[in-house]
Structures are given as structure tokens and as C-alpha cells.
Chains A and B, each alone.
Chain A
Amino acid sequence: MGDAVRAEDDRHQSLSEDKPPHEDENAVAAENDEQDDELRRLLLPDDVSSLPLSPPSVVETNFVRYYAPDFMKPGHDQYVYRHANGCVISISSSFLRLPLNCLCVIGLAPTHVALQAEGGVTSVDFNVGKSDRSEFKVTGKRKKNAQHFQPNSILCNAASGEATYTIRCCVKGSLLEVNNRLIQNAGLLNTSADREGYIAIVMPKPTDWPKIKESLVTFDEYKKLRKLS
């Protein structure tokens, strides 16, 4: 607890740092105290006991979760997480009409055969087909050099021991990035396939999205299909 108190002192000091020096110090101190009290009241949750035991994860909060079960091969279950906020842009000028470019994060669903295999995924290779996906350099707001991928385009191969699994794009769109960390650390797929172990980020055209959506199943449908609770 001693640390907490010390930390509190630090905070206090830094809050008062940039006050105008010419003002009456007592008045400033009083105002700061008042401000701090108000701040503390606002920051702390109203009722600690009402907080969820474990809150929704960042994935649940920020993404709408879709799945492509048995994608082109039985047991090849992949997820397509569509960023929910990405469609909505905050801008300073109010009258712009906005293109609704939403990003999709592509990865392996927990029921994917590669994750079920003994020892899990041991390596990931983005060097497939004619080009190495990890070498693409997409630049600029307009995403120059982004490759256009089809649902069946291969993103990478994941190996589990002797077995190799082909991971595909699942959606039509521009490939913005692949998760290069998987090259060094394929284990991320086994520990957190839905976060740090994502495979790639793809940007479908807004006009393509309705069709893409039809080709996928929702989280609830996926759970039902795979008998997950």
C-alpha cells in the first residue's frame, strides 16, 4: 500500500505543475483540491460491486464476429472479425459524407484443425504461391500497393509437425497486412489465436460487404454449429 500512496503523491505534483505562477497560491491550492476531489469522484466507478466479474474482451467490444466454418476443407474454421468502430469516423468538419471502409481481421477459429492437432501450430509460412505476403509494403491513406485478394487466395501455410494447413483469405478485399510476429512466434496461434495470433487484416470494398456477409455465419450460429457454449 505504501507504493500506492507514493504514486498518489506523484500524481498530485504533476497535476499542479502547469498552473499560472502569478495567481495567489492558496487560492490555486484550494481550487486544485476541489478539482481533485471532483476528478476522483468522477473517475471511480459508482458501484464497484456492479462491475462485471470479467468484462467483455477488447475483441468482443470492438469487433462483430463472423466465421467461415469448413472453409474449402472440413475442419478449416476461420474467423472474420469486422471492426465495428471502423465504419464510423469522427471528423472535425460536420458535413462530409464518409466512405464506409471497414476492416476485417482474419484468423483461425478455436475449432480449426491446426489448433486441435497435437502440439498445435509449430510454424507459419507467408511465402506462398508467387510472392511472400510478409514482404508487401502497403503505404499511404489510399493503401497503395495493397494486393487484391479473393476468398480462396492463400494467406499462409500453418504447419503442425508434419501436417500443413492452407489458410485462406475467406473474404474478397485488399490485403493490408499480415501478422509478421507469427514467423518468429507461431505459438501465438496456440495461446491467443483471436488476438496476438491473428493472421491478416483485409479491407473489403464497402459495396462487396453485403455479399461477403452472406457467405459467413454469425458468432451464435458458429457456436451452435460447433456445439460450443
Chain B
Amino acid sequence: MPSNGAGDVAASGDINQPENVTSAADEELRLLDEVVRTFPSPPVRHLLSLGVCPQCILRLFGKYGPSYSSLSRLLSMLLEVAGDQPSSNYPTSQCTSSGDSICSVCCGILQFIYMDEKQTMVRKECANDLAVSIYELAKKEGYQIDGFCLEVSIPSFIVEKDNAIRLSMKEKYGSEVWFKEILQSETISVKDAIKLYITEPLETLFGVKSGPSSFRIRLTYSSSELLKSQNDAVIKKCAEAQSSRPSDGKASVCFLAIQCYRTPIYVLGRYLKYSRNVSQTRWIIDDERMGESSVEEITGDSVLPLCRGDNYKFHAAGREDIDVRMLGSGRPFLLEIQNPRILPSELSVKEIEEKVNSLRGKLVKVKNLKVVDDQVWALMREGEAEKQKQYAALVWISHELKDKDLQIISSIKDMKILQKTPVRVLHRRSPLEREKIIHWMTIEKITGSTQYFLLHLCTQAGTYIKEFVHGDLGRTYPRAEILQLDVTDVKMDRMNL
């Protein structure tokens, strides 16, 4: 294999899947050896003397380093190259120390050295070791993994350092043939490099491919104030291109936060509420719970453990008062499950449905549950504006119900009414008079009573139904006594749920 070819193989990271880590490391070393031997020795020696780590040196030459081999092996190869032409200025022995010290460019990121959340310095032998830590974290959290998406953020000063060292190389070696070749190959940033180094080991460990996925692994490198102040000095030195090694061999390393999370999943369905003592959402005033439970909690507390999420948010298309039941076709709702460890299957969604519906008390029932993507959000919003609502009210009137009443009521079609903001909500809403439409009404007689009846009505969304029926001190018309109110249907024109 020609040396250039080997370099390409290493650069693209397209090494055949190893039988095991040892053989992968062996193969890597063989390829690396071929690549590193092509490097001219003065720049290698120069970069080593600037305290640039072996991985960064490879990167600056447009090549990727190893994922499985110990970094010390790479260093010894580079030292060998540097030693071909012994330098009077920088004896090899001094360079050796750069193997242990923190890189002046990547601040340890590509040496897999970082401060963990306990402020302890962690030093991994190779990329694979870092990948194993990430893998163990994800496993501990119990994520069901069908793919992963790696997100890396590094502090901007590292990008600046990278630019500075590239500039200094250009000034020093700009006219050399090998340098012109480097310029033609792809520029590998610190971020590109760390991503590539750990992606392949992660793919092997998880047994899945990386790519667009709801499961995210996020590596956040950040710096302490101390490091920020030091780094200005380093950039200055690199720019001067003359370079003694960075004065502080024990330069601070970056903090690394490793987070695994999954983007929210959405469970869509319809709910029915059979109780007049259950609110739609958790309702607590001055630490006192109103109602015995809420639709939000009954549904959320059932779905959350099945998905093993951190939290949930409940959204519904419209609402009804606590003392109003939601019957008939039910009201569409959406549960947003945050950071779910498990993606519920169709079967387990059915199980959730059964679980909720068999809860003691049977306060709430759910149906048509399904897992949907977040597009449904927009639909819920659109639908909400357009819906009509159908209600049934148990009504009492002061006189005996006559057939004529039934006729009058059922002849009403799309009647406009004027409603002032009800007394009930006036303290928190603007005093306004609104026009609303009553689409239709029918009276259903109740056997055994002449003054009680069921009033079925379909109204424009936003109509205050209770007030429409009892008149709200004449602030809405007409008047009757309403005993109980139920929502029987919520029409969502844009959705078939």
C-alpha cells in the first residue's frame, strides 16, 4: 500500500471493523506509522517544542489520529520523526515532556484529559476509553438506543488558538511543498477531531450507527476563568511564531460535562372526564389542592413511568371547568414526555391506555393514544381556533316544559348572542361585550319530570355556556337554571384524532 493511500485510510477513519480492540489498535498503529513517516521533521519538532500534542500535530497535517491506541505510541513515532534531524535548539529530551503536559492548542481535549464535574482531573489513555465512559453513562441511565447523535461544543478560545498555530505554521513553512499539500487537504478542527475519534468506538459499543436521532450525547467543554486569561498569552506567543514553549506546562484543562438525553416524545389522545371534582390541570392555590385530582396528573403519572422520562407537560385543545364533565368524543390532549429513556411501542401505548382506564375511581378515561412527532403541536394550535363545542346541560325552568318550547329551541340556528365578560371571571379578565354564535340547540325531555330537561347545544368556541344558560344577571340572554354542565364533543376541523 502506498504511504499516501494509507494516510487517506487513516484520515477518513474508514478502518475495517475490528475483531477486538487489540487487533484494531494493531492495525491502526501500522497505518499510523506509514502516515507519520511522511511528515517532514522540522515542523514536527517545531510543533512539539510549542507544546502541541501528538493528536493536534496529526490534525495540523490534515490526518486523523488513532481511536484505540495509546497516545504515547503516537508520541514516540513523532519523536522518531523529529529526531531524524537532531535540532540544536530543542533537544529531544525536552520534547518528551510534552507527552504528559497539556496541549497548548486543544487544552487537553484531544489528549482526552479533562476536569470532571467533581473537579477531578481525568486522563484517558485513548479515544476508546472516553467512549467507554460515555457508553457506561448512557447504560446506567437505561436509555433504549436505536441510534445516536453526537453534539460537541468547545470554547471559542480553542478555535482562536487553532487559527493562531495554523497562521504561525504558514509564516514559517508557507513556501514548502509539503505545506502546500496540507493546505489542499481538509482542515480538521479540534471539534471535528474529537467527534470523529469517539464516534467509531461509540458505534461499536452501542451497536448502532450515528446520525440523526432523538437520542443525543452532548459533550460540553468549557473553561475556567483562569484558563481564559492564560490563553491570551499563548495565542500571542504562537503569533510571534518564535516560540519558546508555553511557560506553564501544567496549563489548565477544560471542564467536560457529558450529558445523555432524548428529545421529547409526544403522546396524543383524547380524554374523557367523568368527575366534577377533577380539574384539567394540576390546580393548587396557597398550597391547597383544588379537586381530588387532575387529568394532567392522571394521564401524565401513568405515561411517564412507562417512558421513564424526567418530566411531562400536559397540553389540551381548550379546557372545561372543574365542575364540567368531558364526555362523548373526548377532548384532544398532548403529553410531552421530556427525556424519555424508553420509546413506547404501539403495544405499550395500548397498555398505558388500559392502565389509565382501569385506575380506581374511573375519574378519567383516555382513548386513541398514539406516539406522534412534534408536528402535531402546530395542528393542535390551529385546530383550537376553529372548533365548535357541543354541550349537554341539565336545566331546570320555572314553568312546565311545553312542546312549543321544544319547537322554539330546535328552530334556532346560528343565533348571535351578546355576552359581557361573566361576573365569574370579571375580576381577572377585561370587561368586554363579545358576540358569539349558538349553532343549534335541542331539548331532550327527561321521563318523570316536566321542569328538568337536557339541553344539547353546539356553540362557537369561547362562548360562556353557563352564563348563556343562566343569563348572568341579565348580562347574557336567555335565562334558566343550570344544574350541571357537560361537554359532549369538541370539534377539531383540522384533526382526525
Contacts and interface: CB of A to CB of B under 8 A. Distances in A.
A35 B280 CA distance: 22
A139 B488 CA distance: 34
Contacts of A228: none
B424 A83 contact: yes
A39 B328 contact: yes
Interface string B392-417: 10101010000100110010000000
A27 interface: no
B277 interface: no
Interface residues on B, range: 35 or more
A8 B474 contact: no
B424 A86 contact: yes
Contacts of B486: 42-43
Nearest to A101: B427
B378 interface: no
A129 interface: no
Given A8-B444, A48-B448, A90-B321, A102 B392 contact: no
Nearest to A32: B329
Interface stretch (B112-120, B152-160, B451-459): B451-459
B43 interface: no
B270 to A, nearest CB: 11
Contacts of A195: 471, 473-474, 479
Interface in B452-497: 452, 454, 456, 458, 470-471, 473-474, 479, 481-483, 486, 488-489, 491-493, 496
B488 A39 contact: yes
Contacts of B488: 39, 43
Contacts of A48: 446-449, 452
A163 interface: no
Contacts of B67: none
A4 interface: yes
Contact of B423 (A97, A105, A188): A105
A109 B299 CA distance: 48
A130 interface: no
A176 B431 contact: yes
A141 B403 contact: no
Given A4-B443, A4-B444, A62-B424, A140 B452 contact: no
Given A18-B491, A143-B431, A11 B449 contact: no
A14 B440 contact: yes
Nearest to B284: A94
Interface residues of A, number: 60
Contacts of A74: none
Contacts of A220: none
7 contacts: A44-B454, A45-B452, A83-B427, A92-B280, A181-B474, A195-B474, A201-B426
Interface of B: 274, 279-286, 290, 319, 321-322, 325, 327-329, 390, 392, 394, 396, 398, 403, 406-407, 410, 423-431, 440, 442-449, 451-452, 454, 456, 458, 470-471, 473-474, 479, 481-483, 486, 488-489, 491-493, 496
Interface of A: 1, 3-4, 6-8, 10-11, 14-15, 17-20, 35, 39, 42-45, 48-49, 51, 54-55, 57-58, 62, 83, 85-86, 88-95, 97-98, 101-103, 105, 138-141, 143, 176-177, 179, 181, 188, 195-196, 198, 201, 203
Given A10-B410, A14-B440, A105-B423, 12 more contacts: A42-B274, A42-B327, A43-B327, A44-B454, A54-B398, A58-B481, A58-B482, A86-B427, A90-B283, A90-B290, A92-B281, A101-B428
